[in-house]
Amino acid sequence: MSKSLPSLVIVGRPNVGKSTLFNRLTGTRRAIVTNEPGITRDRIYGKAEWLGHHIEIVDTGGIVPDDKALIPTEILRQANIAIKKASLLVLVVDSQAGLTPLDEELARLLRATGKPFVVAVNKVDANSQVNNANVFHRLGAPIFPIAAEHGTGVDDLLDAALAQFGPSGAAAATKPNDPTSTKHVGAQHAAPQLGKISDLEAPSDSDIDPEYADAESEFADESADTNANRPVQVAIIGRPNVGKSTLLNRMVGEERSIVSPIPGTTMDSVDTEVEHEGHFYNFVDTAGIRRKGKTTLVAEKLSVVMARRGLERCDVALLVVDSEQGVTQGDAQIANYAEQSGRSVIIVMNKWDLAVEAARKAAERDAATSKGQARRDAHDRRTEAAAKFSTTAQSRAKFKAGEARASASRANRGKGHSNKAGPREYSYPGATQGVHGFGDQDKSRLLFDYEKLVRDKLKFLSYAPIVFLSAKSGDRASKLFPLIDLVIAARRKRIPTPELNRWLKEDIDLQRGTTPKARPVKIYYMTQAKTSPPTFLLFTNQKDPLHFSYQRFLENQIREKWDFPGAPIRFIQRLRKAERDTRSEKKVESRAEAREAERKKHGPRLMREHETKELDD
């Protein structure tokens, strides 16, 4: 969100058309619009341009000041944050419902802020309904009859906004020859040039083999420079109630999204721009994606659609999984959405502190059983035997020190509880001894075992890095920004064509690739046609697409050489030109031979037209 832009904040009670007005002003469909009240909850930011000036538009949820429930209270708090930064407040009311006590209460609240505000009387769909707006003069603010759905009266509202901002208030628009410049409301705007230009390497003409130049130009990546200049688009996706909004608030450093234990709290996709160590990111908090059978309300279905759209316009997808519950079928389905859309993926195992606590309690329960005692005794015997046969004095000293600590711990627990078995020092062989029986070594081993479990559940995302963190406490959350930088660099990385073909001829054995076809695959030439995601163009001797197992073999070989962490790899196959020419010549020769054989068979008579057509076919 740019601080230089004047902010026009839309407020009002639920279901009066605030989101419709927001979509009309910004020229987008980012805000969900239904007949169900209370759909918009978080602050949604957008931009509008009018008469050569840019304006920041902020949509807020429906305000009910006396409602003390969790979500309405959070909606009011989010609206107050937007109101404090507003340059102009627009109170939206419903002309068909008339002036309500809640409208009057909201007008009093806005007047108490000291901010200038106007009243937009919505749903005035015809000239005959303009008189319905007269009753709202009682609010003591300028009145603007509008129809947000059709755009009627919106121009007068924007003219009044510019007059309120003053000549120096609104930011000047782009230059006239800029294609993003427009005079109309609702124009789509290009993302601000906030990011750093990466060192993308486009293949030079000298690197391209003339035989394959046409095919390479067909798949030229013209948008690489544009994508490099914009902020990194990061979508936070996952099932409902896994901590996506909490993670957004942690990354932003403020309460940007409403957080509650109620599943489905977030409905709209919330965009937030963040600067971190000179790099710019645009985080998109999406609604929880659930199965179609689990969505009943129209707004829930639309929220899933908007979440899928938010995923498709991002560069990196943070797949948030509840560590306490583990990877479910829903998580795997959402991960498949991200992989199929070509997004780079980072698997975020959230609520790691709860998973560690659950493992610690399970270890204590297990250690208190007879089986746990037997495992512990067996471990003691193995350790003792290893120490006896040790040839170094250092190992024996370590063993004696550990034995002394274990004896002291058992003695301390035995005071006053001689007939009861207390909790053991460790839960399995190799665990760290301690008061609770779950030390740093146990946490490291748990993390290692848990990562193997996640890999087994998400085998198709074997290239995606995994980070374990707690968004609520902030534990290990600092690892996420460097990981995003690593993944976006891999997504935009380009391998020079000469280096690719040298590797293809010298370092890789293509015969190792398993394929069900008898004919061996030959790759004559290879080049990286695109980035974001990395896409490689192959010229082969195969007309049919390569078998998926062979593509997987090639992908594994490429990752072994150049890594590409988090980025999916795509292949485009083409038949080499020489192969196409040879096959066409053989086809022509076979047709000529068939004609000659037919003439010899039927004698000198001319072949009928349908016979010639059959041979040609």
Is residue 577 scored above 50 in pLDDT? yes
* Arithmetic mean of pLDDT, 516-544: 85
Domain boundary, last residue among 422, 439, 456: 439
Rounded to whole angstroms, how far apart are CA atoms 85 and 554?
Answer: 53
pLDDT of residue 436: 41
Q: Domain of 98: which CATH number?
A: 3.40.50.300
At 417, is the pLDDT very low, low, confident or very high (cuts 50, 70, 90)? very low
407 vs 174 pLDDT, higher one: 407
Whether 600 is covered by a domain: the verdict is: yes
At 611, is the pLDDT very low, low, confident or very high (cuts 50, 70, 90)? low
Give the full edge-to-edge strand order of the sheet including 535-540.
523-530, 535-540, 570-575
At 431, is the pLDDT very low, low, confident or very high (cuts 50, 70, 90)? very low
Q: Do residues 95 and 145 touch, judged by C-beta distance below 8 A?
A: yes
Other beta carbons within 10 Å of 55: 25
pLDDT of residue 162: 92
**Same structural domain for residues 343 and 481?**
yes
**Same structural domain for residues 12 and 46?**
yes
pLDDT of residue 508: 82
**Same structural domain for residues 485 and 344?**
yes
Rounded to whole angstroms, how far apart are CA atoms 159 and 527?
Answer: 54
pLDDT of residue 384: 66
At 612, is the pLDDT very low, low, confident or very high (cuts 50, 70, 90)? low
Worst-scoring range by mean pLDDT, 49-58, 340-349, 592-601?
A: 592-601
**Same structural domain for residues 380 and 325?**
no
Percentage of residues in the chain having pLDDT higher than 90: 41
Rounded to whole angstroms, how far apart are CA atoms 115 and 89?
Answer: 7
**Same structural domain for residues 537 and 510?**
yes
pLDDT of residue 560: 92
At 191, is the pLDDT very low, low, confident or very high (cuts 50, 70, 90)? very low
Q: Do residues 286 and 310 touch, judged by C-beta distance below 8 A?
A: yes
* Arithmetic mean of pLDDT, 134-147: 93
At 435, is the pLDDT very low, low, confident or very high (cuts 50, 70, 90)? very low
At 280, is the pLDDT very low, low, confident or very high (cuts 50, 70, 90)? very high
At 260, is the pLDDT very low, low, confident or very high (cuts 50, 70, 90)? confident
Whether 49 is covered by a domain: the verdict is: yes
DSSP state of 454: H
* Arithmetic mean of pLDDT, 81-87: 91
Is residue 177 scored above 50 in pLDDT? no
Q: Do residues 246 and 353 touch, judged by C-beta distance below 8 A?
A: no
Residue 59 pairs in a beta bridge with: 10, 44
DSSP state of 510: G
**Same structural domain for residues 143 and 26?**
yes
Worst-scoring range by mean pLDDT, 24-38, 209-223, 226-240?
A: 209-223
Whether 398 is covered by a domain: the verdict is: yes
Is residue 354 scored above 80 in pLDDT? yes
- Tell me what the pLDDT averaged over the chain comes to: 78
Whether 203 is covered by a domain: the verdict is: no
**Same structural domain for residues 309 and 342?**
yes
Cis peptide before 240 (omega within 30 of 0): no
Whether 151 is covered by a domain: the verdict is: yes
Whether 210 is covered by a domain: the verdict is: no
Helices 370-388 and 393-414 meet at what angle, rounded to 10? 150
Q: Scanning the structure block, which residue is given the tokens 């406490």?
A: 473
Is residue 235 scored above 90 in pLDDT? yes
Using the CB atoms, write b or e for 157-191: b if 16+ within 10 Å: bbebbbebbeeebbbebeeeeeeeebeebbbebeb
Most confident of 74-88, 387-401, 534-548: 74-88
pLDDT of residue 195: 38
Is residue 419 scored above 50 in pLDDT? no
**Same structural domain for residues 338 and 233?**
yes
> What's the number of domains the chain is made of?
5
**Same structural domain for residues 264 and 335?**
yes
pLDDT of residue 89: 95
Domain boundary, last residue among 408, 439, 470: 439
Whether 180 is covered by a domain: the verdict is: no
Is residue 210 scored above 50 in pLDDT? yes
**Same structural domain for residues 308 and 363?**
no
**Same structural domain for residues 379 and 460?**
no
Whether 133 is covered by a domain: the verdict is: yes
At 591, is the pLDDT very low, low, confident or very high (cuts 50, 70, 90)? low
Worst-scoring range by mean pLDDT, 9-23, 38-52, 109-123, 218-232?
A: 218-232
**Same structural domain for residues 375 and 487?**
no
140 vs 184 pLDDT, higher one: 140
Rounded to whole angstroms, how far apart are CA atoms 46 and 275?
Answer: 18
Is residue 187 scored above 60 in pLDDT? no
* Arithmetic mean of pLDDT, 238-252: 92
**CA-based angle 285:66:24, to the nearest 5?**
45
Rounded to whole angstroms, how far apart are CA atoms 143 and 161?
Answer: 13
pLDDT of residue 575: 83
Instruction: Using alpha carbons, select from 69, 62, 70, 10 the residue that is nearest to residue 35.
Output: 62
At 221, is the pLDDT very low, low, confident or very high (cuts 50, 70, 90)? low
Domain boundary, last residue among 456, 472, 491: 491
Instruction: Using alpha carbons, select from 421, 419, 413, 382 the residue that is nearest to residue 399.
Output: 382
Alpha-carbon distances of 222 from 200, 201, 287, rounded to whole Å: 12, 12, 32
* pTM of this structure: 0.73
Worst-scoring range by mean pLDDT, 7-11, 212-216, 250-254?
A: 212-216
Please give the torsion angle defined by the CA atoms of residues 209, 214, 216 and 219, in that order, rounded to the nearest 10 degrees. Answer: 180
Worst-scoring range by mean pLDDT, 19-23, 59-63, 84-88, 520-524?
A: 520-524
pLDDT of residue 581: 52
Domain span at residue 532 reads 493-575
